[in-house]
Amino acid sequence: MSKTEEALLKRKEELTARLEAIRTDLGKGLAADSEEQAVQLENFEVLQEIQRLADEELKQVQKELDAMKQGD
C-alpha cells in the first residue's frame, strides 16, 4: 500500500467519523428555551454546511481510492 493510499484511507476514516458526529448532533431535538433554540438553529445551519463539505470531500477521496485500485 502506497503512502498516498494510506493517507487517503486515513482521511476517509476521519471524514466518516466527523459525518457520524454531525449526524448525531443534527438528530438531537431543540431545547425548550427559545433563546437556546435560536443558537441551536444557527449551529444547525453551520453543521449542515460542514456536513455538505465533508460529504463532498469524502466522495472525492473515494473516487481517488477507486482510481488507484483500477490502476493496480
Quote the crossing angle between the two packed helices 3-27 and 34-71, to the nearest 10°: 150
pLDDT digits (tens, 9 = 90+) for 13-61: 999 999 999 999 999 888 889 999 999 999 999 999 999 999 999 999 9
What local confidence, expressed as pLDDT, does residue 1 receive? 81
Q: Name which residue leads in pLDDT, 68 or 71.
A: 68
Alpha-helix runs per DSSP H in 1-72: 3-27, 34-71
The rounded distance, in Å, linking the Cα atoms of 70 and 61 is: 14
Predicted TM-score of the model (pTM):
0.83
